[in-house]
Structure 1
Amino acid sequence: MAFTINKLVKFMQRPTTNHLNSLKRFIRYLKGTIFHGILLQKPASSALTAHSDADWARNKDDYSSTSAHLVYYGSSLISWKSSNQQAISRSSIEPEYRALANAASELSWIHSLLTELDVNSSMPPLILCDNLCATYLTHNHVYHT
């Protein structure tokens, strides 16, 4: 929802028919999904898991990449973020690696918060990524040049 609103707000001064049609489609989507929500349950395990992903140069306005991460405590989604990256990437590995760095930062902060609240985790935090090259890059520091 935030992504769609962010895109539409950029054209508020001079909306075209396409923008108004997109707004109507978005409102119909909201009306059709009014009973959807996020269910928070007491987790069976206290494992922290982050999922990270990036979309290389998908934004056709400025060819920036979009990165996103989701953080789960057990089976409950507790944090998420999706944003455009500031830098223009020359390969698909760069935005994936930046998304991993953002997910690691968020996961570290949440783990620290839970530790301060005396909520102990049964396992160390885990970050999952779907890009094999970015995963290799995090394990082998020789490639960082």
Structure 2
Amino acid sequence: MTRSVAYVRLIPPGAADTIHYRLHVPDDAGDQIFLRPKVNHRKFDWWYTQWAYAGVRDPNDNSEPPTAAYDDGQWGFTGGTSLVSGDLKSIPNLPITVMAETEASLTVIDEDDTIPGPPNVQYHHPTFANGGMTMGSACCCKVTCVEPPRHFAG
């Protein structure tokens, strides 16, 4: 019987340049909120690194014994590292790389206030981001019919 990965945290096509943040704005936030979002990357998951180097089953764990298909056991990271392969005989502290970082200042409005107009999305269409040039070309034609090209003196 062959095993395969059932779940992988991959970045799907077209989503590599998009990150969504959820922000709770407290009632006492004031008129402005200053944000400094960043995207961190660590090549290997922290938990997996700890487990691979020093993972041992929790002796006080009362869960069902593992099977070939399921293991819900509890683990601790107190195992010896003298037998791990490689020259490093301790759990490595893997670096975190900052891939992107920016700053923004947002104006806070009341819940009842109307947001000033819809966002300008006529020049952005998910088809472009996903590389669908046939549909993207059709989208461009529709946009130019709605708003003809502007000619700029340069």
| Structure with greater Cα Rg | 2
Q: Which structure features the higher share of helix residues? A: 1
TM > 0.5: no
TM-score, normalising length from structure 2? 0.21
